[in-house]
Structure 1
Amino acid sequence: MPDEMSTQRVIAIPTKSVGISLLLTFIFGSVGLFYSTVLGAIIMLIIEAIIGFTTFGFGLIFTHPICMIWGALAVNSYNKKLLAGKAI
């Protein structure tokens, strides 16, 4: 009978896809950012609501690409931390 202290557990966490992140943020904007980063999605939802309201939606032309870039960078950072074995 193995000792419980010497039992090793393996937790498999899949990496996230940059392509899926780009697709979701392209289609859904800041809502698609939830796949990549929850805090970033909340921040961009607030920013897009303010900018969208004050510019009658025309300002979203600028915030939409920012969401896509932020999502891709967040997924890349997540994957690097995951593969390095750091806690996420």
Structure 2
Amino acid sequence: MTRQSISLTKKNDEWLKNQISEDEFNSKSEAINYLIKQARSQEEYYDFVRVKIEKGEKSGFSQKTKDELLDEIKGNLKL
């Protein structure tokens, strides 16, 4: 693992210490790595959603009614 030196605001340092004292994490490093992993996952999700939105926008407007669209969606669900 790469070793880093970072500076934290007082509030963030207190939050980290609190997380460790409540046994949420074993160390500040563990907490920071968890937070970075969460941020990366969120970024991947946003990228996924962005691609889906762009694909939808490029496909144009549907001529189907609301009921037709709902029936199509329900038909595609695997229940």
Mark the structure with the bigger radius of gyration.
2
Task: Report the TM range for the smaller structure's normalisation.
Answer: 0.3 to 0.5
Q: Which has the higher contact order (CA 8 A, sep 6+)?
A: 1
TM-score by length of 1: 0.35
TM-score by length of 2: 0.38
